[in-house]
C-alpha cells in the first residue's frame, strides 16, 4: 500500500505506473483512482493524461462517458438504488422517484447537505427481496417509500449526533 496521499498527483502517477502507463488500461486506472480518492478530481485526470501520453480531452471523455466515474466528492453516504427488472416489477421505480424527491438529488448527484449521493445500479443480487437498495455497502430489501424515509431518518439522526 502506497504512503502517498490518495488525492495527490504523485499517487495518480503511481497508479498509472502500476498499470505500466498503458493507455489501454485507462478504465482500470480511473477505477483505482476513484477507489483511492472517492472521485476523480480534475487535477488527477490531467496527471493521468500526462502519464499515459493521452490528451486531457481523451481522459475527460472517458470519465464523462461512464457514469460510474464521479467528478465531485461523494456525499457521506452512498445510496445505490436498483433499477433492474425484478425491482422495477414491484414498484421500484416509484421508490427511486421518491428517493430523488426526498433527497433533492437525481442519480449521480449529492444532496445539498452533502450527506447522500444517489446512484442507479442494475441488480444488487437481492431480487428475492426487491425493491432493493444498498447504502454504504449494506443491503436493504423490500424498500418502499416509507421504509426509505425511515432509513434516511435514522441516518440523519446519526449525522446529527
The site for ligand FES (CB under 6 A) is made up of 82, 84-87, 123-124, 126-127, 130, 132
DSSP 129: G
CB-nearer residue toward ligand FES: 46 or 84: 84
Nearest to ligand FES of 35, 142 (CB atom): 142
Which strands make up the sheet holding 133-135, listed edge to edge? Answer: 116-121, 77-82, 133-135, 138-140
Of 24 and 137, which CB lies nearer to ligand FES in the complex structure? 137
Q: Least distance in Å: CB of 92 to ligand FES?
A: 7
**To the nearest whole angstrom, how small is the minimum distance from the Cβ of residue 40 to ligand FES?**
27
Please, which residue, 66 or 122, has the CB nearer to ligand FES? 122
Nearest to ligand FES of 46, 121 (CB atom): 121
Closest distance to ligand FES from the beta carbon of 132 (Å): 4
Q: With contact defined as beta carbons under 8 Å apart, do 130 and 123 qualify?
A: no
- DSSP-H helix ranges across the chain: 9-18, 26-37, 42-52, 56-65, 85-89, 92-103, 145-160
* Longest pairwise C-alpha distance within the chain: 51
Q: How far is the CB of 18 from ligand FES (least distance, A)?
A: 33
- What minimum distance in Å lies between the beta carbon of 152 and ligand FES? 19
C-alpha 53/C-alpha 20 separation (Å) is 12
Q: Rounded CA gap, 45 and 43, in Å?
A: 6
Residue 40 C-alpha cell reads as: 476523480
Amino acid at each position: 500500500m502506497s504512503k502517498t496521499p490518495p488525492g495527490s498527483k504523485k499517487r495518480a502517477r503511481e497508479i498509472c505506473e502500476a498499470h505500466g502507463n498503458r493507455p489501454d488500461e485507462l478504465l482500470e486506472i480511473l477505477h483505482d483512482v476513484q477507489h483511492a480518492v472517492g472521485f476523480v478530481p480534475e487535477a488527477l485526470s490531467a496527471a493521468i493524461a500526462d502519464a499515459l501520453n493521452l490528451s486531457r480531452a481523451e481522459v475527460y471523455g472517458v470519465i464523462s462517458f461512464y457514469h460510474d466515474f464521479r467528478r465531485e466528492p461523494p456525499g457521506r453516504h452512498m445510496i445505490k438504488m436498483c433499477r433492474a427488472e425484478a425491482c422495477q416489477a414491484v414498484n421500484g421505480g416509484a421508490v427511486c422517484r421518491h428517493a430523488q424527491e426526498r433527497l433533492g438529488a437525481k442519480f449521480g448527484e449529492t444532496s445539498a447537505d452533502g450527506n447522500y449521493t444517489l446512484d442507479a445500479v442494475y441488480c444488487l443480487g437481492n431480487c428475492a427481496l426487491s425493491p432493493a437498495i444498498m447504502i454504504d455497502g449494506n443491503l436493504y430489501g423490500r424498500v418502499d417509500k416509507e421504509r426509505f424515509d425511515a432509513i434516511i431518518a435514522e441516518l440523519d439522526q446519526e449525522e446529527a449526533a
